[in-house]
Structure 1
């Protein structure tokens, strides 16, 4: 794995050439770690990047998360997203209600955590 960045630096990095828009979430790992309690790893495949096309995001110090899937839907193409810092938290929604830079109670498929790190895998 090759470290990309964390928190706001990661948001900035993934806003350009390596955007998660039009990517595919292909794996999720949710587990407990002795140091950080709950950890959520999201694995994305970038469709328009010939090199370093797989990215892992590791969320730690989870405040809240919610993901829903039904077998009649594809798992999981990212068409829109919100990735932002709000107060002391990092927030990612890969099914946002709208595209403004605020957390909405109507956003779906989201993680709210203290930290997020990114890696090329």
Structure 2
């Protein structure tokens, strides 16, 4: 097996993370009572795959000793189920840890309750 510290060594891991995140989001979208349009499903699955790839790559860098492949696969699937919104939260967390001001338009109110937006057909919650 090649050295996992090099990019060619990480490619199989990152490809499987992308695939697991995308397939998990695809399954979530297709399990809905009224499946969304194909373009929306493809976009959400791709974004979830990118999020899963990102989280998996970060876990391989920051966790020592190196995490087990099963843990990385589980993290990719959980991230894929959560969807691309986790990247916004992760970006905000990293900006705060680094002391950067960040994008003030995406800050979430602290004490506001979540509510379903009646204007959205998918029933997503609004922060």
TM range (shorter): under 0.3
Structure with bigger helix share is: 2
Larger RCO, structures 1/2 (Cα 8 Å, 6+ apart): 1
- Give the TM-score of the pair, scaled to structure 2: 0.21
The structure number with the bigger radius of gyration is 2
